[in-house]
């Protein structure tokens, strides 16, 4: 779905919420919703259940798949919450997807 600026943060041994956090952006609310729909669909195909929050507005969609948490943002919302900065301060491994 052509998510933009995708970042993966390794949370193992750093947090109990998940092992990995994935953060990505969509160009608009519609794009964010499409990205989230695809992630949810792929998780279901893999036999994984996910809790989803934020789909009605699609400014920020949180997909909790247990060991992996996915955040899909509109760019301005992502900048406001700055999750990468918050977790980088915890000395986690951060990796930008190419």
Domain map of the chain by residue range?
4-91
Q: Answer yes or no: is pLDDT of 16 > 80.
A: yes
pLDDT digits (tens, 9 = 90+) for 44-93: 999 999 999 999 999 999 999 999 999 999 999 999 999 998 876 554 45
Q: Answer yes or no: is pLDDT of 25 > 90.
A: yes
Q: Which CATH class is domain 4-91?
A: alpha beta
Q: What is the pTM of this model?
A: 0.87
Kindly write down the DSSP assignment for every residue of 70-82, as one continuous string.
EEEE-HHHHHHH-
> What is the model's pLDDT at position 15?
85
Estimate the share of the chain in helix, then strand, then coil, as percent rounded to the nearest 5.
Answer: 30, 30, 40
Q: Residue 81 contacts by C-beta under 8 Å, 6 or more apart in sequence?
A: 60, 73
């Amino acid at each position: 779905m052509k998510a933009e600026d995708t970042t993966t943060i390794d949370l193992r041994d750093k947090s109990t919420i998940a092992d990995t956090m994935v953060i990505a952006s969509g160009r608009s609310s519609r794009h964010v919703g499409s990205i989230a729909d695809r992630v949810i669909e792929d998780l279901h195909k893999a036999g994984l259940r996910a809790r989803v929050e934020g789909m009605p507005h699609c400014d920020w969609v949180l997909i909790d798949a247990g060991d992996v948490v996915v955040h899909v943002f509109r760019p301005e919302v992502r900048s406001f919450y700055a999750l990468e900065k918050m977790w980088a301060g915890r000395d986690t491994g951060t990796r930008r997807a190419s």
